[in-house]
Structure 1
């Protein structure tokens, strides 16, 4: 397996780019890359030449820290440091809904595989908020308990939820916290199941394997990537090759690899059968906040694409094979 650099767009935004996600293809158009920046805008990019697919989307008063796309490819959401989530039509950019939360309670977010629920990491509220995508009403607030005997994290509150991920079957929801723990929920019962432990710093990104709904990959400031069996409540692997914080992780569609982005300015490809980094990409000159594989599907699409975004305001595109 390998990554091959295709294109890098410098100054893709006016400020640091903190978020990236792929909008799935529809019958009318291919998949699009969506990026969010501290310049308060969301931008859409065509998947091959990384040319803008329209004007910037505005509407936030502070920097955009997370973007998410509905699995149907027609609706997207952006979250900002202003504690608002803007939901909009991808093709027309028309606003559909504005979701408001108290300060410091909107961080990473993701639509469930069926597109019926938007999960949002709740930051200082120590929770994950679930929004119904048919009504855009808040339908659940999943409280994340502190592990027994846990020390307070650096926020002083004991829990600050940074990241969230759905299992591919939509039955489980995992969220990563500032204190290094990961909480796992049974979504249908809105029930906390257990914590996964092992990290010693903020867990800023996590993703389930696309081929095994039990397996979870996590990225942490402690420079480690860990692999968990979420049903068995156990850590089944740990990998370390970055020399600084691991800020982002995504799994390849074939389930054979993961890719990470780090504050050491690199993007790394990990072979899961070897449990080792097999390639390091050095396209960026500042920390890499987001990595995202293009979802499979779309007319004539054969190559698997990966995108990375950085504090250096650039976007890089790669082929994965």
Structure 2
């Protein structure tokens, strides 16, 4: 399987074994289907330097990538699109990344000598609920989520807004 322009620096199987993620010196993350020995979709781009490491989340829905650009990026593994802004804070190249088995944390390692823990998407709603005093209102749900999806309170322990 070829596709990267230059060295491949990191690889990981998806938890179900049906896909492989790779990160390379060409600053891309790529997905592969090992059963067909083919690349799956377009490369994921956004890193400004070589990708050094990739990791699948335990549920296989996300990919984390580490880079010499000192950032960690999260990708939707199905849509092959970024999930959020890069996680920035390391002072040197990020050399590795891994998800906690419960999907709520991500760890990164860097040449700056530091490990950093980041909340993973599975923990974002829970973390947000600790900062709120009420759930979003029906109007906010309609505007921010979708008017075609039935309203659902996000924080079970908080009252709903009018």
TM over 0.5: yes
Q: Look up the match of 1:246.
A: 94
State the 1:206 CA deviation: 1.0
2:110 aligns with one of 259, 262, 267: 262
Greater fraction of residues in helix: 2
C-alpha distance in 1 between matches for 2:10 and 2:80: 19
1:68-107 equivalence runs, <5 A: none
Aligned residue pairs total 121
1:224 aligns with one of 54, 61, 71: 71
C-alpha distance in 2 between matches for 1:261 and 1:215: 19
Is residue 93 of structure 2 the alignment partner of residue 234 of structure 1?
no
Q: Look up the match of 1:164.
A: 11
Q: Look up the match of 1:83.
A: none
Contact 1:179 1:200 (C-alpha < 8 Å) held by counterparts: no
C-alpha distance in 2 between matches for 1:232 and 1:224: 21
Greater fraction of residues in strand: 1
TM-score by length of 1: 0.36
Is residue 49 of structure 2 the alignment partner of residue 190 of structure 1?
no
Aligned CA distance change for structure 1 residues 268 and 199 (closer, same or farther; 3 Å): same
Root-mean-square deviation (CA), in Å?
Answer: 1.5
Is residue 48 of structure 2 the alignment partner of residue 200 of structure 1?
yes
Q: Look up the match of 2:28.
A: 181
Large movers: runs of 4+ above 2 Å: none
What are structure 1's unaligned runs of at least 5 residues? 1-141, 146-157, 276-321
What are structure 2's unaligned runs of at least 5 residues? 126-162
TM-score by length of 2: 0.70
> CA-to-partner distance for each residue in 1:6-50, whole Å, 9 max, x for gaps?
xxxxxxxxxxxxxxxxxxxxxxxxxxxxxxxxxxxxxxxxxxxxx
Greater relative CO, 1 or 2 (CA 8 Å, sep 6+)? 1
> CA-to-partner distance for each residue in 1:147-201, whole Å, 9 max, x for gaps?
xxxxxxxxxxx42111101110111101100121011111211111121111011
C-alpha distance in 2 between matches for 1:144 and 1:214: 22
